[in-house]
Structure 1
């Protein structure tokens, strides 16, 4: 009995030592430094706090739009898929976390076999029950830990990707809502133009019927009428398509009372659209954070690949009861146990493991390039929005003056035609110019509002519902490693 306990004690001591040694450092290399060459300032940026700090319920002025956005956040299928991807990544991380712990299972067996003894040949039956640890890897080189870090970074990247999807969705909903409003505004303008053209056609027909003018002005007026009718039909189609797009983004039919009934003239409560500091963009844009997590995950993969160059040690053990008589199975003296390690030593694999390290290092360089590009793309989007913002005011002012001038020209031309001074061709040309100028003004007004939404999105706005909300991203495993080394 003393000998048995001595062996058992040594086995437990060896196991405890092995478990203690598993708490080792990861073999991932130094983290690469991104060189995105970001600018020190934005193009023509407004000073002040970035509008991205505002929650979307405070940024958008129309409460109908806010309600439509809330419906989209609850029902949009792309956002729902992104949330499900988070759940999937969370379960994958849980599996990698569980791999660091021993797997314990119960077992039982009945073995009937033919045996030879001094008493002759005969069949015996052996009964076994017990608990066992199956192939628990002793993580001396940090391979399992690196895989866990990779799973954690992947999970965090999936979370920030869902946030980027939300920001994009809010921007798309706002712009689709504006598109519906201006499609209706263009339809209203086309109907008004059609009525004007019909009046001109009726006037020209009367003048032709009484012999004042030839048939040419009648046919010219008819061309304008049919052109206007075509525009009316076209804008009716655009209204229906805009509503269909809005319903798709929201994930259900948008209630009629939440649709704009008149042309939207203001989209935001903000009088000044500040862009903040360039450094704010790195923390406000979740797509940049996603690329950063993916870069960290690639670094963890290098650690796992390097660990494969070293021996893999696994521990297997079991404890239970065994007996040739079922009724005596759990009696004293039938307790049995076993414990033992297994060793996998790489000797020659034709360079496969080293090639896997090279692949992991290349993947890290790809992830670094993607991270730098995501930063550059974010700054380009902000600068593009600011470039439009810089000149949209002058364009709107000029277009409004053009509308006033063309409308005045149309009134004067119409008066001169009715007085018999000018031909109808002058009126027709003035009508077309005035109509085109009105359409151009609507396009610019919509572009101005869309630009405000685009600037809010490109700066990272839309993640918070209320301005007072706080958004924080957990550090990546690379950041934790650097923090521990300091």
Structure 2
């Protein structure tokens, strides 16, 4: 009978603790168009499924990305934050379970005979000993203030902590994707600096030789002072560019080492030039709805929204009564060898219920704060989606234009090179002055520098589109 009564009571408590005060959560619809601007109606599956090693085929770049994923301090901090969030969830979940402690003690005390005798109704004539001294052993198992979660307050807190743990893990994935993109951008900047430096060095050698020849022609009265000044000006410009390229190369290398978290190894594979860099540039975007599943920052914002909704449930439940139980089961004896005898058992059971009556508006304030934070989480969720949509649209605009622009710039550089050849022939034939040849050389130098800049921008735009689509999350 007692067993069935206890079982029924536990069943009632279990049903009561299953109650939740969380409001119904409706995830807002994505506040973006159904299709990306500039994308085909039948856009294939998103490029987010492409592994980053396949996206970036340069073996040197792959080794640097792997080094960064292992050593980058920002990513390491983000990973540790995930562990911290997991611990917080465990703490919140532990509050839903009973806290049981075992303890043992020994107490030695002395009681004056007069006090002891008065308690027992005995006379105190001074003939007996002046006091009683004894020791007491005890061993107990205690249940301390276990709260029966009648209205789901603890469960809502645990749910919020769990969702924030998941959100932090999504943040780690987002940080990983961002790190890969940052490493690629830094690597491309370093390659650009190196190749522009090499171009400047070659050009400076040619222009110094041209200035020397122009000076000799001036001495022979076959060139004007204007031609000499023009040739010297080109040399000085190339010398200034050389220092700028040296600075850009050093800064790009420093940025790359910061991202990798360690000096670059000496045994890295040889680099691939920008013009031959095997980075995929024509990436499919898929549909905007794919972003909701492919981008971890969007999933992170959604988790934060669910956590904020659970906070409202916890704040609502705080208005209702709390039932807690404290219990003790143990044994007590004056002699240690008889501590666990049958007759030495003791127990206590102390249920307690509390109902908030007056808190000065603090509970209402906590509820209102939770509701406002949920509204903020909704706005942030929508904001993240809109930002992701814009990033993809920008990447698609680059996909549609950079290839054509790069081809046109390459043609312009080829035309400038052809002009230098023709100007040199015309100069040798005496048809054109040396000024025309110098101007053609300057145009060729500028066209080649611009082409390298444009190629780096094209590769960086493709990397940005890959990152915007959520690519790079996988391990491969």
TM-score, with length taken from structure 2: 0.90
Distance in 2, matches of 1:199 and 1:258, equals 36
Alignment partner, residue 478 of structure 1: none
Maintained 8 Å contact 2:188/2:274: yes
Answering whether residue 109 of structure 2 is matched by residue 112 of structure 1, we say yes
Quick check: 340-349 or 240-249, which moved more? Answer: 240-249
Answering whether residue 351 of structure 2 is matched by residue 354 of structure 1, we say no
The Cα shift of 1:291 comes to: 0.2
Alignment partner, residue 458 of structure 1: 468
Aligned length: 460
Distance in 1, matches of 2:320 and 2:287, equals 47
**Runs of 4+ off more than 6 Å:** 8-11
Distance in 1, matches of 2:28 and 2:276, equals 40
Alignment partner, residue 209 of structure 1: 219
Q: 1:406 to 1:224 in 2, by over 3 A?
A: same
Which one of 300, 303, 307 corresponds to residue 317 of structure 2? 307
Maintained 8 Å contact 1:180/1:260: no
Q: SS of the residue aligned with 2:343? A: coil
Distance in 2, matches of 1:372 and 1:328, equals 69
Which one of 340, 345, 354 corresponds to residue 330 of structure 1? 340
Alignment partner, residue 479 of structure 1: none
The Cα shift of 1:262 comes to: 4.7
Q: 1:120 to 1:386 in 2, by over 3 A?
A: farther
Distance in 2, matches of 1:181 and 1:213, equals 39
The Cα shift of 1:323 comes to: 3.3
Answering whether residue 70 of structure 2 is matched by residue 74 of structure 1, we say yes
The Cα shift of 1:174 comes to: 1.7
User: Any residues of structure 2 matched to 1:57-456 within 5 Å, and which?
Assistant: 57-109=53-105, 110=107, 112=109, 114=111, 115-116=115-116, 117=119, 118-119=121-122, 122=131, 125=134, 126-258=136-268, 260-268=270-278, 270=280, 272-326=282-336, 328-456=338-466
- Superposed CA offset, 1:295-350 (max 9, x none): 00001111111110011111000011123455543333221000111122101112
The Cα shift of 1:275 comes to: 0.9
Q: 1:32 to 1:362 in 2, by over 3 A?
A: farther
Distance in 1, matches of 2:57 and 2:93, equals 46
- Superposed CA offset, 1:21-58 (max 9, x none): 45322101011441432211112225222111111122
The Cα shift of 1:183 comes to: 1.4
Q: 1:271 to 1:239 in 2, by over 3 A?
A: closer
Q: SS of the residue aligned with 1:236? A: helix
The Cα shift of 1:18 comes to: 6.3
Quick check: 49-58 or 236-245, which moved more? Answer: 236-245
The Cα shift of 1:448 comes to: 1.1
Alignment RMSD (CA, Å)? 2.5
Distance in 1, matches of 2:197 and 2:68, equals 26
Distance in 1, matches of 2:442 and 2:315, equals 70
Q: 1:157 to 1:30 in 2, by over 3 A?
A: same
Distance in 2, matches of 1:377 and 1:269, equals 24
The Cα shift of 1:417 comes to: 3.9
Q: 1:316 to 1:113 in 2, by over 3 A?
A: farther
Q: 1:290 to 1:80 in 2, by over 3 A?
A: same
The Cα shift of 1:269 comes to: 6.5
Distance in 2, matches of 1:298 and 1:317, equals 35
TM-score, with length taken from structure 1: 0.88
Distance in 1, matches of 2:16 and 2:64, equals 53
Alignment partner, residue 32 of structure 2: 38
Maintained 8 Å contact 2:304/2:377: yes
Q: 1:443 to 1:120 in 2, by over 3 A?
A: farther
Distance in 2, matches of 1:290 and 1:424, equals 64
- Superposed CA offset, 1:374-394 (max 9, x none): 111110000011112211122
